[in-house]
Amino acid sequence: MNRSRRLKLQVFRVVVFVVMGAFFLVPIGAMFEFSTRGVGVGAPRTLVSWTTIATYPDLVAAIVASLELAAITSVAMLFLLLPTMIWVRLRVPRLNRVVESLCLLPLTIPAIVLVVGLLPVYRWMSDNFSNSILTLAFAYVILVLPYTYRALDAGLSAINVKTLSEAARSLGAGWGTVIFRVIAPNMSGAILNACLLSVALVLGEFTFANILSYVNVQVAINQLGQANAGVSIAVSVASLLFAFILLMVLSFVGAARRSLRSKPRASDPRLEAVWGQKA
């Protein structure tokens, strides 16, 4: 490449990075700025918005509920997916496609569409079962399926499930031992990834909660937004930072445990979005 062309390219790159950097960083900075504004013109910066979070009981309850949901969803997801995926690998490999398609289905069905169909189901549940916000976990497990399936699949691919389980079984281990004390410890990175993803997604979820009339943290932020923008933005920043840190941890843990097998099937890049891997 000759010199003038190289120079033009470098100028282009600098301009693009500066503009894009500004576009993506300014809103985040603005959130910090907004949430630390003092009252009145020329007032000094203050952390009032942050410290008064605790004085909004509904908000606090929503935060607690979201955290509980995040935990429950992670655990439920693991208990549902991990045995199933191991079982499929060991006993019914033919069903692999079916399970995978089901897990990736939520990517192509918009959340707002799915929740229309969930409404009757949840009505039935709250009439006959429970009205608690924690029942949202059922729907949330479905929501996180595509991402967590991918995470666990990568982890299972990297270890020899068949050999490990056969060895354990021949030594007299029951299935519980096989799953929890033989296989799971060997894919701890993938399991951690799946849980981090679940937590990040649950904390950021709004659609299901809003339509099904439960108040999780995002719904609470939205409701509070009218009344006290400062506090709701402070909570937004907090949840954003939390999710950001989680996903950054994810990309480092994920990088260390990347599966060596290449994926021949074209996959949805929104999955790649969470993984940061090349499609």
Partner 1 sequence: MTATGNPAIESARRPREGGRRLPLHWVGVAPFLAYAGLFLLLPTGIVVAGAFTGNGGLTLSNFSTLNQQYLIKAFISSIGLSAVSAVVGAALGALFAYAVATGNPRGVLRRIVSSACGVLAQFGGVTLAFAFIATIGGAGFITLWLQSHGIDPYAKGVWLYEVPGLVLVYAYFQIPLMVLVFLPALDGIRPQWREATESLGGSTWHYWRYVAGPLLLPAFLGATLLLFANAFSAYATAAALISQGDPIVPIAIANLLNSEIGIAEPGLAKALALGMIVIVAVVMTLYAVLQQRTARWLR
Partner 2 sequence: MANTAPVARAGVEVRLENLQRSYVGVSALNGLSLTLAPGELVALLGPSGCGKTTAMRLVAGLEEADGGRVVIGGADVTNLPASKRDVGMVFQAYSLFPHMTAWQNVAFGLQMRKVGQDERQRRAREMLEIVGLAGFADRFAHQLSGGQQQRVALARALAINPKILLLDEPLSALDARVRARLRDEIRRIQLDVGITTLFVTHDQEEALAVADRVGVMNKGRLEQLGPPTEVYSRPATPFVAEFVGLTNRLAGVVRGGEVDVRGARLPLVKPGVTDGPAIALVRPETVSMTADPDSSPGPLVGTVIGTSFLGATSRVTVDLGDATVLAQLTTTDASKMPPGTRVRLILRPDPVLVARDEKAATEA
Among 2, 55, 128, 170, binds partner 2 (CB under 8 A): 2
Contacting range for partner 2; rule: CB under 8 A; set: 1-9, 22-30, 62-70, 236-244: 1-9
Full 3-state SS string of the chain: CCHHHHHHHHHHHHHHHHHHHHHHHHHHHHHHHHHCCCCCCCCCCCCHHHHHHHHCHHHHHHHHHHHHHHHHHHHHHHHHHHHHHHHHHHCCHHHHHHHHHHHHHHHHCCHHHHHHHHHHHHHHHHHHCCCCHHHHHHHHHHHHHHHHHHHHHHHHHHCCHHHHHHHHHHCCCCHHHHHHHHHHHHCHHHHHHHHHHHHHHHHCCCHHHHHCCCCCHHHHHHHHHHHCHHHHHHHHHHHHHHHHHHHHHHHHHHHHCCCCCCCCCCCCHHHHHHHCCCC
The contact mask relative to partner 1 for 110-149 (x = CB under 8 A, - = no) is xxxxxxxxxxxx----------------xx-xx--x----
Taking CB under 8 A as the criterion, which residues in 3-22 touch partner 2?
3
Contacting range for partner 1; rule: CB under 8 A; set: 46-54, 61-69, 184-192, 234-242: 234-242
Taking CB under 8 A as the criterion, which residues in 250-279 touch partner 1?
251, 266, 269-270, 272-276, 278-279
> Least distance (Å) from partner 1 to the CB of residue 114?
6
Residue 264 touching partner 2 (CB under 8 A): no
Give Cα 228 to chain centroid, integer Å: 27
Residue 1 touching partner 2 (CB under 8 A): yes
Among residues 2 and 101, whose Cβ is nearest to partner 2? Answer: 2
The contact mask relative to partner 2 for 209-228 (x = CB under 8 A, - = no) is --------------------
Among residues 226 and 262, whose Cβ is nearest to partner 2? Answer: 262
With CB under 5 to 8 Å by kind, the binding choice for 50 among partner 2, partner 1, none is: none
Taking CB under 8 A as the criterion, which residues in 167-196 touch partner 1?
174-176, 179
Residue 58 touching partner 1 (CB under 8 A): no
Q: Which residues of this protein are in contact with partner 2, per CB under 8 A?
A: 1-3
